[in-house]
């Protein structure tokens, strides 16, 4: 099977503020994620891990340097083009699931499939398959308030996969889970990654999660180092 570079950073720098008051967060990063690669991103609180994830997702643009999705520079895209490309290529899971409380698990997972152009029947089929993959077939009609924390996070993962992305970016996906639930969620994630050749970037403080990854990178003083 071929391996391609899915996301590439070229001399990317980023900071908050302007002029002399600017606070530098990331400094001249050159880095990439390839097909099927599983990467853990470590670092102290405030080191810029979430900022880097938002840059990879195109939710922020660098102050200097360039970010490429499958060799396409995202700074050259319009906002509409970038949103459409993100939906096709990248799924995002946050520490807090951000599910729509008035929708069932099935409806929450259907939504990105609908936005990606699926018909209602096709989106429902995709959502049912993904909820089965995360062992929630019996809970598809339940709303988030009727689900446990681990179940809500698994729904969020299924939702992030609904548009069939190539890369899944996750910000502390087990941060609010107990150890046993976190282990189940991680095992499921890595199984899905293997089955789908899905690339994973896990921003985490959880050393057990990091140990499962192919590579561990430490973000420190604005630069990345192999841990």
Residue-wise pLDDT tens digits, 7-58: 999 999 999 887 777 788 999 999 999 999 999 999 888 888 989 999 999 9
Q: What is the assigned CATH class of domain 26-98+155-226?
A: alpha beta
How far is residue 157's CA from residue 134's CA, in Å, rounded to a whole number?
Answer: 8
How far is residue 112's CA from residue 226's CA, in Å, rounded to a whole number?
Answer: 34
State the average pLDDT over residues 61-76: 93
pLDDT value, residue 60:
92
pLDDT value, residue 138:
94
Judged against a pLDDT cut of 60, whether residue 141 lies above it is answered with: yes
Range with the lowest mean pLDDT among 106-120, 170-184, 212-226?
170-184
User: pLDDT category, 187, cuts 50, 70, 90?
Assistant: confident
Contacts of 191 (CB under 8 A, 6+ apart): none
Average pLDDT, the chain: 89
pLDDT value, residue 128:
95
Percentage of residues in the chain having pLDDT higher than 90? 57
pLDDT value, residue 157:
87
How far is residue 75's CA from residue 133's CA, in Å, rounded to a whole number?
Answer: 35
pLDDT value, residue 2:
65
pLDDT value, residue 1:
57
In the chain, where the domains are located: 26-98+155-226
How far is residue 183's CA from residue 69's CA, in Å, rounded to a whole number?
Answer: 31
pLDDT value, residue 56:
95
């Amino acid at each position: 099977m071929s391996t391609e570079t899915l996301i590439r950073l070229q001399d990317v720098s980023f900071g908050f503020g302007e002029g002399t008051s600017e606070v530098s967060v990331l400094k001249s990063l050159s880095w990439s994620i390839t097909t099927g690669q599983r990467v853990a991103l470590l670092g102290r609180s405030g080191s810029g891990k979430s900022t880097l994830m938002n840059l990879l997702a195109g939710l922020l643009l660098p102050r200097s340097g360039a970010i490429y999705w499958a060799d396409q520079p995202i700074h050259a895209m319009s906002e509409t083009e970038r949103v459409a490309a993100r939906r096709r290529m990248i799924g995002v899971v946050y520490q807090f699931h951000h599910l729509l409380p008035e929708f069932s698990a099935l409806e929450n997972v259907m939504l990105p499939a609908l936005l990606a152009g699926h018909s209602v029947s096709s989106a429902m089929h995709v959502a049912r398959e993904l909820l089965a993959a995360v062992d929630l077939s019996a809970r598809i009609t339940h709303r988030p308030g009727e689900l446990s924390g681990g179940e809500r996070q698994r729904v969020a993962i299924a939702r992030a996969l609904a548009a069939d992305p190539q890369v899944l970016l996750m910000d502390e996906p087990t941060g609010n889970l107990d150890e046993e639930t976190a282990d189940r969620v991680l095992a499921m994630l890595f199984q899905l990654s293997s089955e789908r050749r899905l690339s994973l970037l896990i921003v985490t403080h959880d050393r057990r999660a990091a140990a499962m990854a192919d590579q561990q990178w430490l973000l420190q003083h604005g630069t990345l180092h192999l841990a």
